[in-house]
Structure 1
Amino acid sequence: MIGRKSIGRASPLLLILVALASFLVTYNLVVLVIKNWPREEQTPVVDDPVIQMPTDLNRPGRTRRPFHVAVTATDAPYSKWQCRIMYYWYKNMKDKEGSEMGGFTRILHSGKPDNLMDEIPTFVVDPLPAGMDQGYIVLNRPWAFVQWLEKATIKEDYILMAEPDHVFVKPLPNLARGSYPTGFPFFYIKPSEHEKLLRKFFPEEKGPVTNIDPIGNSPVIIQKSQLEKIAPTWMNVSLMMKDDKETDKAFGWVLEMYGYAVASALHGVQHILRKDFMIQPPWDLKLGNTYIIHYTYGCDYSLKGDLTYGKIGEWRFDKRSYLRGPPPRNLSLPPPGVPESVVTLVKMVNEATSKIPGWDD
């Protein structure tokens, strides 16, 4: 039995030990907090990639990470004139400050060379076997990427998948972050609203359908090694979706976009979603900090500057007006009151067509 004197003698020592332990715990906690406190020169760790990323792209000393610009195309006049405008603005922006654009390839899935081979760097691949696309020519896109990735020599470690109707508004940096590619969130790609259909291609053991990002394949900046794995799955999933009548009817012209979104989710790839990646006139009114104008929608306005979408306007610019040949040089500018995004688009089209040799040919 320990007497009171022993307890009394031990108490000061015990207090010292407790005080020392408390000091060490407090010290380690403070060091840990200081060590992990965010500093201006550090990029915060990303726990959820589905957010806007920090704007550290022009930080001094940042290692340049060039990406290859790749666009799939046909040999139709409609595709050709869009590619010529896109390539003009790529060349215009490529070497400007802030750009990390590398090489450029038009992946031509007609199976044979065309008359733009000398103007635009082009890699010819085969189309899908006759009848396999079922009249949905966009199904050739994933098959084109599969062939290009297998056969071409691509120096860059990253790839931007783009489309002919993209215009680069300003120099584009590499928006991807390591194994997190970057994509644009489309308001009409809604995986959670199509769970029943998507479960045919994205089984429950792969997780919730919210793991499927609301994107298409373009615009996306992604590691080449990731795309090499995703592309064959993207092709197969898209073909299976097209063969499923219920899915084909539900997804329509965006079916191949869902195909890419599902394929990347099957490989566990999650994208950083950047709303500033591009704008789509006439719905997006201002340029803001965007990098790309995507002119997929028709722009119809009254002479008072009022949008008349769904009805041919007194003034209009719609790429579908030029299916058989290029638009003429010097298109008329929109009337007063039309949004900045549309005015800028027409001015950029006019600049490109005025500078590209042999445009009217």
Structure 2
Amino acid sequence: MIVRKHMGRASPILLLLLAFGFFFATYNLLTMIIHNKASNLGSWVVDGVKRSGELNSKFHVALTATDAPYSQWQCRIMYYWYKKVKDMPGSDMGKFTRILHSGIPDKLMEEIPTFVVDPLPEGLDRGYVVLNRPWAFVQWLEKATIEEEYILMAEPDHIFVKPLPNLAHGIKPAGFPFFYIKPAEHEKVIRKFYPKESGPVTDIDPIGNSPVIIKKSLLEEIAPTWVNVSLRMKDDPETDKAFGWVLEMYAYAVASALHGVQHILRKDFMLQPPWDLEVGENIIIHYTYGCDYNLKGELTYGKKGDWRFDKRSYLTGPPPRNLSLPPPGVPESVVRLVKMVNEATANIPGWDTLTSDTDQK
């Protein structure tokens, strides 16, 4: 009876101790989970955009280029819009580098931050100048001082519509899925460079190297493989024929898969007028296609009219300031593109004086 009496008196204290212990254990457990997520580069959502969990989430904007006028005027427009959006709210954009793989400085050195690297040995690219891209990144990563922990691989014909957050998730990079990169449909060719023991072909992402936001240390591992795969693909007639102008894109996709890397696929990373009809919430305009049709499929030049915008119309020099706007019935994305090109060309000093550097050598 005495024992029961004392047990009855001790029960409230015991319950209080148990409750306190449970609270303390729960608090520690939650703290450990939060700390573990942070150390494993977790993520959180701000304004509906998934953000990197690292304190240093800035990324360096890097694009490869030549000294040809065609490349120069695109770089000038791209750099204008980078500066326009870089410091806006929601941006994780760091410094900017044009990786010039012509081997010698050009006239844009003072206008655009530039790092000069060597091209591939003469004849090795077989006229496919894009093959210099992976080799340029290898050299830049080895020789340059890059403060940011991440890198955005971009291209001259990219225009930033709005500030770009870091879409990568720790060591998992973010890339744009291209509808025309289809590794599974080219399994026979892909297996020459991605053997069965490496995994299923479906592990290869439908991407190119650009746009991709990737951890710098990871790109340092992938880039040499990217070079080797690109050269091997170009040397193989069957592969060269199968992949054509997107060969280097397939090479990056294969190289990253060989390193066990898969990308977060973000369709909102980029749009490509006029294939994509509206800008919407997309971040980058990639003007790779000629814009010369309206929504009815009618040509806007020739017998039907005289309007078009195609970057290939300006291979030897820049487009003029104040391009005429598209006629009614052309996709909104094309109208937006032309307006953004016009704003850049109106505000870049000396726009009309850009000529070939070969005149000065």
Q: 1: distance between equivalents of 2:167 and 2:46?
A: 10
Give deviations 1:74-108, integer Å, cap 9, x for gaps. Answer: 00000000000000000000000000100000000
Q: Which of these residues, 157, 169, 178, is aligned with residue 170 of structure 2?
A: 178
Equivalent position amino acid for 1:132 in 2: L
User: For the Cα contact (< 8 Å) 1:67–1:101, is it kept in 2?
Assistant: yes
Counterparts of 1:198-209 in structure 2, within 5 Å, are 198-209=190-201
Give 1:228's aligned residue. Answer: 220
User: For the Cα contact (< 8 Å) 2:54–2:170, is it kept in 1?
Assistant: no
User: For the Cα contact (< 8 Å) 2:61–2:95, is it kept in 1?
Assistant: yes
Q: Which of these residues, 181, 194, 198, is aligned with residue 189 of structure 1?
A: 181
Q: 2: distance between equivalents of 1:291 and 1:218?
A: 13
Q: 1: distance between equivalents of 2:236 and 2:56?
A: 44
CA gap 1:58/1:261 in 2 versus in 1, 3 angstroms: closer
Shift of 1:216: 0.2
User: For the Cα contact (< 8 Å) 1:216–1:256, is it kept in 2?
Assistant: yes
Q: 1: distance between equivalents of 2:90 and 2:46?
A: 15
Give 2:18's aligned residue. Answer: none
Q: Which moved more, 1:183-192 or 1:333-342?
A: 333-342
Shift of 1:58: 7.7
Partner secondary structure for residue 229 of structure 1: helix
Give 2:69's aligned residue. Answer: 77
Partner secondary structure for residue 140 of structure 1: helix
Shift of 1:308: 4.1
Whether 2:154 is the aligned partner of 1:162: answer: yes
Equivalent position amino acid for 1:296 in 2: T
Shift of 1:344: 0.5
Equivalent position amino acid for 1:339 in 2: P
Q: 1: distance between equivalents of 2:56 and 2:297?
A: 42
Q: 2: distance between equivalents of 1:125 and 1:306?
A: 46
Whether 2:140 is the aligned partner of 1:148: answer: yes
Q: Which of these residues, 231, 234, 237, is aligned with residue 239 of structure 1?
A: 231
CA gap 1:54/1:254 in 2 versus in 1, 3 angstroms: farther
CA gap 1:207/1:122 in 2 versus in 1, 3 angstroms: same
Whether 2:95 is the aligned partner of 1:103: answer: yes
Equivalent position amino acid for 1:215 in 2: I
Q: 1: distance between equivalents of 2:343 and 2:178?
A: 29
Shift of 1:339: 1.4
User: For the Cα contact (< 8 Å) 2:56–2:149, is it kept in 1?
Assistant: no
Give 1:289's aligned residue. Answer: 281
User: For the Cα contact (< 8 Å) 2:64–2:100, is it kept in 1?
Assistant: yes
Equivalent position amino acid for 2:284 in 1: I
TM-score by length of 1: 0.83
Name the % identity.
75
Give 1:5's aligned residue. Answer: none
Consecutive unaligned residues of structure 1, counting only runs of 5 or more, are 1-26, 47-52
Q: 1: distance between equivalents of 2:239 and 2:50?
A: 43
Equivalent position amino acid for 1:82 in 2: Q
Partner secondary structure for residue 267 of structure 2: coil
Partner secondary structure for residue 242 of structure 2: helix
Tell me how many residue pairs correspond in the alignment: 319
Give deviations 1:277-314, integer Å, cap 9, x for gaps. Answer: 00000010111111100000000036xx6444798673
User: For the Cα contact (< 8 Å) 2:301–2:308, is it kept in 1?
Assistant: no
Give 1:216's aligned residue. Answer: 208
Partner secondary structure for residue 335 of structure 2: helix
Consecutive unaligned residues of structure 2, counting only runs of 5 or more, are 1-21, 354-361
CA gap 1:150/1:331 in 2 versus in 1, 3 angstroms: same
RMSD: 2.8
Partner secondary structure for residue 316 of structure 1: coil
User: For the Cα contact (< 8 Å) 1:64–1:100, is it kept in 2?
Assistant: no
Give 1:22's aligned residue. Answer: none
Q: Which of these residues, 232, 250, 253, is aligned with residue 261 of structure 1?
A: 253
Q: Which runs of 4+ in 1 moved over 2 A?
A: 53-59, 61-64, 305-314
Counterparts of 1:19-34 in structure 2, within 5 Å, are none
Give 1:4's aligned residue. Answer: none
Equivalent position amino acid for 1:187 in 2: F
Q: 2: distance between equivalents of 1:233 and 1:141?
A: 13
